[in-house]
Amino acid sequence: MTQPDASFRDLAHRARRPEPDVAALTVDGAPADPFRLFLQWFADAVDAGVAQPQAAVLATVSTGGGAAGRVVLLKDVDDAFSFSTSAESPKGHDVAAEPRVALTLFWPDRGRQVRVVGAVEPSDASVAEQDFRHRHPETRAAAVAVRQSDPVPADDELGTRLD
């Protein structure tokens, strides 16, 4: 059992894993289109059984001027990286005020990370509606019962809202 008085540095050192056995990326071997490379890496992560390889950290500048980061799930990648959020959520307010963001995906078991920087643009409302309809019914109910990023109410109130 780990000693409770062990330092973070000691614990982190013991937590290291051997480097993954993946093919090295070379400039000559990389496709010219970065989206194509991303999709190849994403397919590799899926095939390797990486848990939720579509999870990404979205970094924004908060409306107060500070940095903010949270995990989002990519919904699509074509000529852009797409994710869903409520325009009324803190991240919705952040990107409305300052659309420049950074997105990071990390697949440690594959020895890869992807970092994307750019500006957020709202998608067509029909795309957002389609994304919402594809969610699990319980997830849709929760999204309606509790606004994104609001504190979750007490169990009895939450149950009433979900009903």
Task: Tell me the fold of 21-121.
Answer: Pnp Oxidase; Chain A (2.30.110)
Q: What is the pTM of this model?
A: 0.76
The residues, ordered by sequence, that sit 6+ positions from 128 with a Cβ below 8 Å of its Cβ are: 84
Which among 85, 1, 74, 2 is positioned nearest to 38, based on CA atoms?
74
Give tens-digit pLDDT for 69-126: 999 999 999 989 999 887 888 888 899 999 999 999 999 888 899 999 999 998 887 8
One-letter amino acid of 150: D
* Residue 114 to residue 42: CA distance in whole angstroms: 10
Number of C-alpha atoms within 13 angstroms, CB side, residue 120?
Answer: 23
One-letter amino acid of 18: P
Q: Could you give the angle at which helices 155-162 and 137-145 cross, rounded to 10 degrees?
A: 120
| Per-residue pLDDT at 67 | 93
Number of C-alpha atoms within 13 angstroms, CB side, residue 69?
Answer: 8
| Per-residue pLDDT at 76 | 92
Number of C-alpha atoms within 13 angstroms, CB side, residue 5?
Answer: 0
For residue 62, which phi and psi values (nearest 5 degrees)?
Answer: -70, 160
Give the residue with greater pLDDT, 26 vs 12: 12
The pLDDT > 70 percentage for the chain reads 88
Q: Where are the domains of the chain?
A: 21-121, 124-163
